[in-house]
């Protein structure tokens, strides 16, 4: 499944109340490391289909969500399971780092 | 348009040259090796492009009179290297074996063989290593103003450092932040005159001289910095929402420890401009350069290493005829 955008108004429903773990990518169009992360997150959303949902939150347009989770550096990817943060990756660190993060919610 | 001069090696055969890294040194080397008909593999790393990917406008790279965005420059260099047949893999090298012939490089459990290697892994941010820094990374602590500056709109930020990269961070931040305080351990900047005057002429900039950060304080996110004056030892606190660390870089040489000679700071020891302590292993760019550390010098070093690779290959390749 491809990644999709989540906004402040549906963050609760799409992220926190999701039955499946959700990896939230906080990004902005002007951030070049975010653009490097983009194709990799797209790939992972297919590879981990049905096990993790990957969504994107544009920090320029969704200040509530980004400030609620103290996102002051982008890209920041936060992993949620049953509404709780279970892991966080700050900055773009490549595919392996994202996979290791996803495994925190999908293994065991 | 692709114009290829070298045949890629078959499975199990070595590349003429494998270049580790993907900044200006690596990509310039690849342009020269491919045009010199050497089969060229770039093991670029997952975070490809090097330090310029974390910059905005680059005004000192010749050929761009109006400046060019760092990431755009790197994408152009990558395209140019690939145009002449370089293979580009966005993976990290985990281990190298320079004792074998050909050399062996391990990437995600896959082994690549190389007749020659150019080490061009560059350098990465040097952090302050003070309490609170690691915990608050991405929660107010950053090293990339071009990435994060807009998140500090109308907020107070500090920049630590006194070189060109600290000035650049400050100048990017001042467009958004309500105030930018530069904290520097000496009483003058190392930065170029051009950068210094842009900083000093901006009314939103403050400078605290002779001081260093002792601790970074905050619960969920950064709240304040504890700083101390190196001359008087006096401590004080300043309230900020962001702190950007720009005190320099350290070479990315972890995987080369005990494989080639490194100096006491971890830089690759260079002999004869481009050579390492291992014959057939060359080096280029910020990973050995403690003096200049510019995109253009890295590119120049890449070109030099490429020339030496081609010479080395010519000298060491014996023509094997099929009987």
Identify whether A34 is a catalytic site residue: yes
Residue B36 contacts residue B305 (beta carbons within 8 Å): no
Q: What is the mean pLDDT of residues B178-198?
A: 96
Mean pLDDT of chain B: 94
The answer to whether B144 contacts chain A (CB < 8 Å) is yes
Identify whether B289 is a catalytic site residue: no
Residue B174 contacts residue B180 (beta carbons within 8 Å): yes
Which A positions 31-70 lie with beta carbon below 8 A of chain B?
A: 31-36, 59-60, 66, 70
pLDDT band, residue B1 (cuts 50/70/90): low
Domain definitions of chain B by residue range: 15-124+249-316, 127-245
**Contact between B138 and A97 using a beta-carbon 8 Å cutoff:** no
Domains, chain A, with CATH or none: 4-106 (3.40.30.10)
pLDDT score recorded for residue B319: 53
Q: What is the pLDDT of residues B26-43, one digit of tens each?
A: 999 999 999 999 999 999
Residues B224 and B210: their CA atoms lie apart, in Å, by 19
Residue B117 contacts residue B96 (beta carbons within 8 Å): yes
Residues B195 and B309: their CA atoms lie apart, in Å, by 37
Residue B171 has pLDDT above 70, yes or no: yes
DSSP three-state, residue B110? strand
Residue B321 has pLDDT above 50, yes or no: no
Helix and strand numbers, DSSP H then E, in chain B: 6, 19
The set of residues, in sequence order, having a beta carbon less than 8 Å from that of B304 and lying 6+ positions away, is: B273, B274, B284
A:B CB pairs within 8 Å: 71
Minimal Cα distance from A77: which residue of B? B138
Sheet holding A84-90, edge to edge: A4-5, A53-58, A22-27, A76-81, A84-90
ipTM exceeding 0.85, yes/no: no
Residue for token digits 């890629």? Answer: B8
Residues A49 and A44: their CA atoms lie apart, in Å, by 8
Residue B128 has pLDDT above 70, yes or no: yes
Cis ω on the peptide bond leading into residue B310 (within 30° of 0)?
no
pLDDT score recorded for residue B187: 97
pLDDT score recorded for residue B203: 95
Is the fold of B15-124+249-316 the same as that of B127-245? yes
CATH 3.40.50.12780, domain B127-245, yes or no = no
Best A26, A29, A73 member to test B by mutation, with max B CBs in 10 Å, is: A73
Q: What is the mean pLDDT of residues B98-125?
A: 96
Residue B5 has pLDDT above 60, yes or no: yes
DSSP three-state, residue A107? coil
Q: What is the mean pLDDT of residues B44-57?
A: 87
Q: What is the pLDDT of residues B211-245, one digit of tens each?
A: 999 999 999 999 999 999 999 999 999 999 999 99
Instruction: Identify the active-site residue in B66, B92, B144, B289.
Output: B144
Residues B193 and B170: their CA atoms lie apart, in Å, by 15
Task: Please tell me which of the candidates A32, A72, A90 has its beta carbon nearest to residue B71.
Answer: A32
Options 3.90.280.10, 3.50.50.60, 1.10.357.10, 3.40.50.720; CATH of B15-124+249-316: 3.50.50.60
The torsion angles phi and psi of B17, rounded to 5 degrees, stand at: -145, 135
Of B93, B79, B2, nearest to B45 by C-alpha is: B93
Choice between B148 and B253, residue whose per-residue pLDDT is larger: B253
Mean pLDDT of chain A: 93
Q: What is the pLDDT of residues B58-111, one digit of tens each?
A: 889 999 999 998 888 999 999 999 999 999 999 999 999 999 999 999 998 899
Residue A51 has pLDDT above 80, yes or no: yes
**Contact between A91 and B92 using a beta-carbon 8 Å cutoff:** no
Residues A96 and B174: their CA atoms lie apart, in Å, by 35
Give me the percent of chain B exceeding a pLDDT of 90. 85
Residue B323 has pLDDT above 80, yes or no: no
Which B positions 90-129 lie with beta carbon below 8 A of chain A?
A: 90, 92, 108
Give, rounded to a whole angstrom, the gap between the first and last alpha carbons of chain B. Answer: 38
pLDDT band, residue B313 (cuts 50/70/90): very high
Which tokens is A41 given?
């997150």
Q: What is the mean pLDDT of residues A58-84?
A: 94
């Amino acid at each position: 499944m491809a990644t999709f955008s989540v906004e402040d108004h549906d963050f609760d429903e799409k992220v926190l109340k999701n039955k499946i773990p959700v990896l939230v990518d906080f990004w902005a169009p002007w951030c070049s490391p975010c653009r490097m992360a983009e194709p990799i997150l797209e790939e992972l959303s297919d590879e981990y289909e049905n096990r993790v949902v990957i969504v994107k939150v544009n920090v320029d347009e969704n200040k509530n969500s980004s400030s609620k989770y103290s996102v002051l550096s982008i890209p920041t990817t936060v992993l949620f399971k049953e509404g709780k943060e279970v892991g966080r990756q700050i900055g773009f660190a490549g595919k392996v780092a994202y996979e290791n993060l996803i495994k925190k919610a999908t293994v065991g | 348009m692709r114009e290829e001069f070298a045949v890629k090696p078959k499975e199990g055969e070595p590349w003429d040259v494998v270049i580790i890294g993907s900044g200006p040194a690596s990509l310039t080397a690849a342009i020269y090796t491919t045009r010199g008909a050497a089969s060229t593999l770039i093991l670029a790393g997952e975070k490809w492009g090097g330090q310029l990917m974390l910059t905005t406008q680059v005004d000192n790279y010749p050929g761009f009179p109006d400046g060019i965005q760092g990431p755009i420059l790197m994408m152009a260099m990558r395209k140019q290297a690939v145009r002449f047949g370089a293979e580009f893999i966005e993976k990290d090298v985990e281990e190298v074996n320079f004792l074998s012939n050909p050399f062996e490089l391990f990437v995600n459990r896959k082994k690549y063989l190389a007749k020659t290697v150019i080490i061009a892994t560059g350098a990465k941010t040097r952090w302050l290593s003070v309490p609170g820094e690691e915990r608050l990374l991405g929660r107010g602590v950053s090293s990339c103003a071009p990435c994060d500056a807009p998140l500090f709109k109308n907020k107070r930020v500090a920049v630590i450092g006194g070189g060109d990269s600290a000035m650049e961070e400050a100048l990017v931040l001042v467009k958004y932040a309500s105030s930018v305080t530069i904290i520097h351990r000496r009483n003058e900047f190392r930065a170029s005159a051009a950068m210094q005057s842009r900083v000093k002429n901006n009314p939103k900039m403050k400078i605290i001289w002779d001081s260093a950060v002792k601790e970074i304080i905050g619960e969920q996110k950064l709240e304040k910095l504890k700083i101390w004056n190196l001359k008087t030892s006096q401590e004080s606190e300043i309230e900020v929402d962001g702190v950007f660390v720009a005190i320099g870089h350290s070479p990315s040489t972890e995987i080369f420890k005990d494989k080639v000679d490194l100096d006491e700071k971890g830089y690759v020891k260079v002999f004869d401009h481009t050579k390492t302590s291992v014959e057939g292993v060359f080096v280029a760019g910020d990973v050995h350069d403690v003096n200049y550390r510019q995109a253009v010098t890295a590119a120049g070093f890449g070109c030099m290493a490429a020339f030496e690779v081609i010479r080395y290959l010519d000298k060491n390749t014996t023509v094997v005829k099929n009987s």
